[in-house]
Structures are given as structure tokens and as C-alpha cells.
Structure 1
Amino acid sequence: MKVLRISKEIEVLMGSIGAFQSLFMSTYLFFHRKRNIQNILLSLFFLLITLRIVKSLLWVYLDLVPDWFLNLGFAAHTASGPILLLYFLHYIHPRPWNPIHFLHFVPALLLLLFLFNINESNFWYRGGYSALLYQQLIYTLIAIGLFVHVLFKKNTSGMDVKDRWWLFLLLAGAGSIQIAYFSNYILGLTPYLAGPVIYAVFIYVIALFGLLNKKVLFKEAFSSRYNNIKIGDAEFNTSKIQIAALMQNEKPYLDPAFSLDKLSRSVTLPSYLASHIINKGFNTNFSDFINSYRIEEAKLKLMSPQYDRIKISEIAYECGFNSLSSFNKAFKKHVGRTPSEFKKSI
């Protein structure tokens, strides 16, 4: 009995800590001055998870919890999967909000509509809860697929190592609670509160990583400055291929003075249009776009035996950087390690 009591105390403590930290992140993101569509989505996700965890704790440890509050927790659970997937989509490819996205939340809205009419006996234990769990599993698997695509896709220069770690931590935290609930009810493999307990660990790691790397929390959202640019898909794709071919064949990025104006003249495009194609077509800004090519060039030289006795600073200058400090900073941003660490690992 003593072990069981300690176990319950740990469940309540861990679940409460996770809910509190999740609520803190939700509030912090929503009221931050740099709030954008991505932050709003993530803020709502943390709020929905908070409601789901509180519902679970109350249902287990209180005898009388109103049906409407249980339904509110289930509605929050239903909306959590779609909102996380939409956050991933907006984080990886910043874009304006599309009203069609609201269709993802129709099931949650229907639950809110019948908040005071349904209960465990007439809905949840008659297939409603199973449907919710399968729905969340599908959204989780789609998010995993999207993350794997980003992880292994080459030339996603708008995404650096910290971005990938950030998405991984979010996916691991959210996936743990979704899969744990599924495993409990559908498979009968885990305790009911396993999800909130595991999530409590992840949410602190997520919060620490995000607060220490605020760039991932407040990633630049979609900019409306390109809204008025009119360019057909065929012309856009042709110009994108032309820019990529220029970079690969002529390697203009090796010139430290290479600029957007020089690139624009090389591909005979106006500067604003070249910038638009880089931002939208390569999902990055001009500086990161150029540096991604310079870093790949530097990696080849660092791995080549011909450069074993060449100083890293000389390699930096050969690859188009005008200072060693800017090279080190860009290299760590794109690779996750310093040039010296990378060379030692070869």
C-alpha cells in the first residue's frame, strides 16, 4: 500500500508540474510582444494540453467531476493534434493563415456544442473516446512524417540545427502524451496517467530549450511584403532553377562581396523578385541562403586530405567569409558544431 501511495503522489506531483509549466508557456507566448501566428498556435497547443492533463488528474482523484468539464478536456484533446500539426506547417514554411484550416477543428467544435449533453455512458464509452484517440494518432503520425521529411531533406537552408532540435522536442513531448493515452485505452499497456507524467519531463526540457534559444520560439513569421508580387508558377520555378544553377555551377558565393544585387544581375531579375524567390522558394533569407553554400564548401575542404595542414581561417576566407568569427557562427548555426569540432569528428 505504501508503494501505491507514493506512486499516486508522484503522479499528482508530476502531472501538476507539467500542467503548470504548460500553462506558463502558453501565457508567455500569447502575451509576448513578438506574437505571431506561430506563437498563437503554440500557445493554444500548450493551453489545450494543460486542460487535458487537469481533466485527467481530476477524473482519477476526485469522485465527482462535472460531465461538462470532462467533455471540455476531451475537446481540448481533440484540438491538440491538429493545432500542433498546423504549428509545424507554419514553422517550417511560414505562410498566412488560411481559413480552410478551421476545418481541422470541426470535431472539437462539435464536442463543445454538445458539452452539456454527452457523457461517458452515452458517448465516450460507446466509441467516442476510441475515435478521439485514433484521430490523435493519425495527426501525430502525420507530424512525425513531416518532421522526418524536414530532417532528411537537403538544402532546407531556412532550418538550422536548433530548429530541428526544437521541433523534435515538441514532437517527442506531444507524441508521448498522445501515444500514452492510446496505449492505455486501446492497447491496455500503460497506466492512465503515464502520458501526463512523461509530458511533465518533456515540457521542462522544451521550456528550457526555448527560453535559452528564443530565436526558435519567435521565428520570423510570414511577411506580407511579398503579397503584391505577381509571378506565374512557371516563371517562378524557372527563376528558382536558374538561381540554384548559378550557385552550383559558378559558385559566386566564394566572393565575400557577393550581394543580392550581384545575384539579381547574374540571373537578370529585379532585386525584389530575386529576394522573393529565395524567401519563398528556398524558405530562407538571402544571407542564410548564401552561407549555406559557403558552409557546404567549407565542409568539403575540411574533409579533404589536401587541406589537413591548412588553417581553418584560410578555409573560411576561401569559402567567402570575411572573418573567422562570422564563419564560426554560421558554421555552428548550420551544422551544430564548430569547424574544429567537425574536423576532429572526421
Structure 2
Amino acid sequence: MNPSTALIIFSSIAVTSCGFLSSYFLFIKKEHRLKDVTLGLLFIAIAFRIAKSIFYYALPEISPAGVGLGFFGFACIGPLTYMYFNIDQTTRTYLKPITLLHLIFPVLGFIIILVNSNYAYELYLLANISLAAYLGFIANQFFFKSKASELSKWYKVLFYALVALSIILIYQLIGESINAYAIGIALSSLVMYFLFFYALQSPVVVKKPNAKVLPPELLQKIKNAIEEDQIFMQPAISLAQFSEAINTPTYLVTKATKSIYNKSFPEVINSFRIQTIKQKLSQPEFANEKIEDLAYDVGFNTASTFYNAFKKEVSMTPREYQSSIMSKY
């Protein structure tokens, strides 16, 4: 496979990723329709711009309609980003009519290119300037003032990705060589890949389904078994044995311990064992007790497991802990 073919395939997948994101925001996500539709249209606009570069690279004799659509998408990136940042998430469910004035330049430029494509270079240059201006307005409104702290990480990632895209497209336009054009396509595609994969793991963008809430009586049963019945004192108690003892599936026990203690089941068991040992080490009558014996008494099977767990939990050895407590008496 030659480099040109590899670049076309690589960039085409980036455009396809834009299409997937656009479809999700336009037709599936319904948390805030105006916000979602605006973001979907933004990704379509970016896809149009990158697609135009791919077609122009592969087929230099691209039609005026193709050049015009690429320009229209490019010129819409700035306005759509500005709208996305300014839509009120809680109350606004419509765009003000005056907002449509932002689309005058994209529409006029598209018509001019259809009539006379000789003006395409100048219009693409103006689109670059327009995008930079919109990003400048957004930076002044949201990043250079106190509002920056109110923005979620997604908005910051989106903004800086579009800044990078703007710089790349300027370089591509003024590079005046096929190599510069190819580099521009590759870097633009990388920006899209980054946004695509970041969006997939961002809860602001792709909302994850809520985990099923565990019944309070189940949480209480598990808590009682650990804290009151002290089932952790049983040597080498496993998740399966614990689940069987309280007649609860292992996956529910795992979820419950994470919900109650924010720890895995083995971490919870070791933590309670160590808390019991700490209580004993803080009492003078256990000052001469062999520490390994205390560990075996609370359910640890090996001294090494106990020492590693204790150091992880308390950040000091058992003797160091005991000395620090006894020095207070």
C-alpha cells in the first residue's frame, strides 16, 4: 500500500468517525436537544472540511460543488462552536433568530464558489480568519474570565482541539505544496480521532447508563455480616465463601462492598482485620504479644500478606505503629 492510499484510508475513517458522532448527537442523544443538535452539526461541518481535503488530494479536479461544500462546512465551524458554548443548558431550547446572521458568510461563500470557483482560495483564507476570530471570542468570553472554572473538561478539550485544527488548516492553505497539504490532512484527521475517542469516554458528551441501585436491605445485610458478625475473622475467607454464607451472588457482593466502602472485597476484609489489630496494638496488655500471632488470630494466613496489607493501610510497619501509640502513654 503506497503512502497516498494509506493517508486517504486513514483520513476517511476520521471522517466516518465524525459521521458516527454526528448521528449520535442528532438522532440518539436527547438530554438537551438544542445543545446536542448544535454539536452534531459541528461535527458534520468538520467532516465536510476534512472530506473536501481528501477528495482534493485524491482528485485535484474536484467539482465546484465539492469545493463549495468543503468551504460551507469550514465556514460553519466557528459559528457552530460559538453557539455551542453560548447555549444555556438549563433554559434555552431554541436559537434566537439573530443567530442565523452567523450563517450569512458560509452561505454567500458557498454560492460564490458555485458561480466562480476562482475565488475559492480567497474564501478559504477568509474562513480561516473567521474561525480564528470565533475562537478568539470564545477564549475571551470563557477562558480569560472567571467563567473558565465553570467549564467542564470536555469544553476545554473541544476548544483546544479546534484551535489546533485552525492552525493545521492555515498551514495546509499557505503551505503551497502537496506535502504540506498531505500533512494537513493527516494532522486534521488525528485531531478528529482524538475528539472521537475523548467524546466516547466523556460523561458530558456520551452519557453512561446509570448503574442499577442496590437494595438498602442488601447493603445492610452485607454490612452487618462484615462489621457485626465479623466474618472477616475467618481464615482465608474468599468472595465465594462469603457470598455463600450470606446467600448472595458474588457480583452483588462485589458491587455492595464498592458502594459501601469504596474498596474491593479483599481490600475490605484486610482493612477490617487491620483495624482489629490496630486496636490491640494500642492496648498495653498486647505490648509483648507476637505480632504474627495477632495477624493469624484475625484471619491472615501468612505473615507476608499481613505485613504488606498493614503497610499499605497504615503507611508504617506494625511495630512502628505500636511504638507511636505507646509513646503517648
Please say whether Structure 1 and Structure 2 have the same fold, judged by a TM-score greater than 0.5: yes
> Shift of residue 215 of structure 1?
3.4
- 1:40-94 superposed Cα distances (whole Å, 9 cap, x missing partner): 1110011111111111111111143211111111111111111111111126786
Contact 1:38 1:87 in 2 (8 A): yes
- 1:158-214 superposed Cα distances (whole Å, 9 cap, x missing partner): x4xxx2x21122123222222111123347698224344223333333333333333
* Distance in structure 1 (CA, Å) of the matches to 2:20 and 2:73: 17
From the superposition, tell whether residues 179 and 188 of structure 1 become closer, same or farther in structure 2 (CA, over 3 Å): farther
Is 1:131 the counterpart of 2:120? The answer is no
Between the aligned residues of both structures, percent identity stands at: 22
Specify the code of the residue in structure 1 equivalent to 2:143.
Answer: V
1:166 pairs, out of 127, 138, 154, with: 154
3-state secondary structure, aligned to 1:65: coil
> Shift of residue 217 of structure 1?
4.5
Matches within 5 A, 1:138-149: 138-149=133-144
Q: Which residue of 1 aligns with 2:172?
A: 184
Specify the code of the residue in structure 1 equivalent to 2:128.
Answer: L
* Distance in structure 2 (CA, Å) of the matches to 1:92 and 1:194: 37
Specify the code of the residue in structure 1 equivalent to 2:166.
Answer: Q
Is 1:104 the counterpart of 2:102? The answer is yes
Contact 2:38 2:80 in 1 (8 A): yes
From the superposition, tell whether residues 63 and 187 of structure 1 become closer, same or farther in structure 2 (CA, over 3 Å): closer
3-state secondary structure, aligned to 1:59: helix
Is 1:205 the counterpart of 2:205? The answer is no
Gaps of 5+ in 2: 208-258, 263-329
Q: Which residue of 1 aligns with 2:37?
A: 40
From the superposition, tell whether residues 32 and 47 of structure 1 become closer, same or farther in structure 2 (CA, over 3 Å): same
RMSD over equivalenced CA pairs, Å = 3.4
Specify the code of the residue in structure 2 equivalent to 1:169.
Answer: V
* Distance in structure 2 (CA, Å) of the matches to 1:155 and 1:175: 19
Aligned pair count reads: 211
* Distance in structure 1 (CA, Å) of the matches to 2:110 and 2:81: 20
3-state secondary structure, aligned to 2:115: coil
From the superposition, tell whether residues 144 and 115 of structure 1 become closer, same or farther in structure 2 (CA, over 3 Å): same
Is 1:67 the counterpart of 2:64? The answer is yes
3-state secondary structure, aligned to 2:136: helix
Matches within 5 A, 1:69-88: 69-88=66-85
From the superposition, tell whether residues 42 and 194 of structure 1 become closer, same or farther in structure 2 (CA, over 3 Å): farther
Greater Cα radius of gyration, structure 1 or 2 = 2
* Distance in structure 2 (CA, Å) of the matches to 1:56 and 1:87: 25
> Shift of residue 32 of structure 1?
1.0
- 1:282-304 superposed Cα distances (whole Å, 9 cap, x missing partner): xxxxxxxxxxxxxxxxxxxxxxx
* Distance in structure 2 (CA, Å) of the matches to 1:94 and 1:149: 25
Gaps of 5+ in 1: 219-324, 329-346
